[in-house]
Amino acid sequence: MFESLQASPADAILGLITEHRDDPRAEKIDLGVGVFRNADGETPILDVVKEAEQRLVDSQDSKAYISTAGNASFNAAIQSLAFADSVPDDRLMTLQTPGGSGSLRVAAGLILRATEKATIWVSEPTWNNHVPLLGGAGMTLKPYPYYDVVNHVIRFEAMLDSLHKVPKGDLVLFHACCHNPSGLDPSEEQWCEITDIVVERELVPFIDMAYQGFAVDLDTDAFAVRHMASAVPELIVSTSASKNFGLYRERTGALSFLVTDMSSRDILISQAGSYVRTLYSMPPDHGAAVVSSILLDAELRARWIVELYAMRDRLRDMRSLLHDALKLKAPGHDFSHLVRATGMFCFLGISKEQVERLKKDFGVYMVDSSRINVAGITPGNIEYLADSIAAVL
Ligand SMILES: Cc1ncc(COP(=O)(O)O)c(C=O)c1O
């Protein structure tokens, strides 16, 4: 049976990881893969996660199944982290999912149960995996303008024009903060303008919040979620604990729905349960148990916020470091967008050929679009990195 299969095309990021790993040059730099790294180039387990895991090992007395919706206290804590008190709890429901990716996929399946021909409008560009996760489930994806590759700003007017023409009832995918790949987010005023159009056109917003706490702070980063929630009848939010808790491999995420009333919420809960049963039955527990014990314990929560903001600050510092180094080494080139962006990603803004030369001649790895993960920058490699970029400009 399997001999009929063709090899699937290589994943660009996974391919880059292998190429970087096999590169013998000591000075090589990886700006491709999407994980946080500290100044030593490592992705350590947060101290507070270690502590919560230890407490869990000491106190957990069963590994019995939980439920299709996962850990109830995790769901409540994540829901409150995202929505705060922007809407009454009885209009919200949250289920734990295998990572943010699992959340997007479950959302797509449930949307398609509700409406057979669902169209979702996504920013151009958007996170590459949005396409297989949502499109692969059967949704139709259409682009709205977002990033100006020449001037490195949001194409806000073009975006609004485009949203004005989206047919009533269609979904629109937004990134709550740290837009991946551009790193540029609308301001609060702009989110208000976007929300007005969403309300006027009766669109259904779907907000992907994979980086809460990585841009400004936990509350500011949730502005779009909370503002839209207070204005629209229905909203979908996908969250991930991969980055802000560093729980990548534990596959910890959540999917929240804002609905109009309690009876639609109960129907959605039953539909979500039966749909999840057809996919993976129940989400993995460990990461969610860790997150809920951190969020529900005042001391652990405070320690988590300190560690989270230290990650945010390191990303900010590395952006400034690269910006300042390029100002010196590549005068005449404007890299100010590096410091206007937030989170892990932004575009360097160089050509595919220059990306290739960086890889071949200098061992500096990034995806073809020149999206970089600034977490790959360290005080130790900044000089070499800036020299290499200046050399290919
Ligand atoms: C925009 C966006 N959404 C969702 C995710 C999902 O992450 P995960 O499935 O690892 O939780 C990511 C991860 O890179 C992301 O960048």
Cβ–ligand 1 contact at 242 (below 6 Å):
yes
Please indicate, yes or no, if residue 103 is contained in any of the structural domains. yes
Please indicate, yes or no, if residue 56 is contained in any of the structural domains. no
Residues 287 and 311 in one domain: no
State in Å: Cα 204 to ligand 1 middle.
21
Q: What is the pLDDT at residue 14?
A: 82
Position 262 confidence tier, pLDDT thresholds 50, 70, 90: confident
Which atom number of ligand 1 is nearest to the Cα of residue 251? 11
Q: What is the pLDDT at residue 376?
A: 96
Q: Choose the residue to mutate in 35, 127, 239, 245 for probing ligand 1, maximizing ligand atoms within 8 Å of C-beta.
A: 127
Active site members = 127, 208, 243
Calculate what percentage of the chain has a pLDDT beyond 90: 95
Residues 177 and 282 in one domain: yes
Please indicate, yes or no, if residue 218 is contained in any of the structural domains. yes
Mean pLDDT to the nearest integer, 51-74: 97
Q: What is the pLDDT at residue 11?
A: 80
Contact of 374 with 315, CB cutoff 8 Å: yes
Cβ–ligand 1 contact at 183 (below 6 Å):
no
Cβ–ligand 1 contact at 101 (below 6 Å):
yes
Contact of 181 with 369, CB cutoff 8 Å: yes
Average predicted confidence (pLDDT) for the chain:
96
Q: Which domain holds residue 110?
A: 65-296
Please indicate, yes or no, if residue 152 is contained in any of the structural domains. yes
Cβ–ligand 1 contact at 194 (below 6 Å):
no
Does 125 sit behind a cis peptide bond, omega within 30 degrees of 0 on the bond before it?
yes
Cβ–ligand 1 contact at 208 (below 6 Å):
yes
Residues 221 and 109 in one domain: yes
Q: What is the pLDDT at residue 116?
A: 86
Please indicate, yes or no, if residue 163 is contained in any of the structural domains. yes
Q: What is the pLDDT at residue 215?
A: 98
Tokens encoding 288: 């969610």
State in Å: Cα 1 to ligand 1 middle.
33
Residues 285 and 185 in one domain: yes
Residues 274 and 186 in one domain: yes
Please indicate, yes or no, if residue 6 is contained in any of the structural domains. no
Mean pLDDT to the nearest integer, 120-140: 96
Cβ–ligand 1 contact at 34 (below 6 Å):
yes
Cβ–ligand 1 contact at 240 (below 6 Å):
yes
Q: Give the domain-ending residue among 252, 271, 296.
A: 296
Residues 142 and 259 in one domain: yes
State in Å: Cα 210 to ligand 1 middle.
5
Position 63 confidence tier, pLDDT thresholds 50, 70, 90: very high
Please indicate, yes or no, if residue 275 is contained in any of the structural domains. yes
Residues 231 and 334 in one domain: no
Q: Which amino acid is at 295?
A: L
First to last CA, the chain: 50
Residues 217-245: pLDDT tens digits? 999 999 999 999 999 999 999 999 999 99
State in Å: Cα 390 to ligand 1 middle.
31
Q: Give the domain-ending residue among 296, 311, 335.
A: 296
**Whether residue 386 has pLDDT greater than 90:** yes
Residues 202 and 343 in one domain: no
Q: Give the domain-ending residue among 242, 265, 296.
A: 296
Residues 262 and 310 in one domain: no
The CATH number of the domain holding residue 250 is 3.40.640.10
Residues 148 and 231 in one domain: yes
Q: What is the pLDDT at residue 160?
A: 98
Query: What is residue 353's three-state secondary structure?
Result: helix
Residues 142-187: pLDDT tens digits? 999 999 999 999 999 999 999 999 999 999 999 999 999 999 999 9
Does 181 sit behind a cis peptide bond, omega within 30 degrees of 0 on the bond before it?
yes
State in Å: Cα 327 to ligand 1 middle.
32
**What would the DSSP string read from start to end of 187-252?**
-HHHHHHHHHHHHHHT-EEEEEES-TTSSS-HHHHTHHHHHHHTT-S-EEEEEESTTTS--GGG-E
**Whether residue 121 has pLDDT greater than 90:** yes
Q: What is the pLDDT at residue 9?
A: 80
Residues 328-385: pLDDT tens digits? 999 999 999 999 999 999 999 999 999 999 999 999 999 999 999 999 999 999 999 9
Please indicate, yes or no, if residue 53 is contained in any of the structural domains. no
Name the domain count of the chain.
2
pTM score, two decimals? Answer: 0.97
- Three-state SS sequence of 85-153: CCCCHHHEEEEEEEHHHHHHHHHHHHHHHHCCCCEEEEEECCCCCHHHHHHCCCCEEEEEECEECCCCE
Residues 40 and 170 in one domain: no
The CATH number of the domain holding residue 344 is 3.90.1150.10
Residues 292 and 326 in one domain: no
Cβ–ligand 1 contact at 210 (below 6 Å):
yes
Which atom number of ligand 1 is nearest to the Cα of residue 179? 1
Position 106 confidence tier, pLDDT thresholds 50, 70, 90: very high
Which atom number of ligand 1 is nearest to the Cα of residue 100? 11
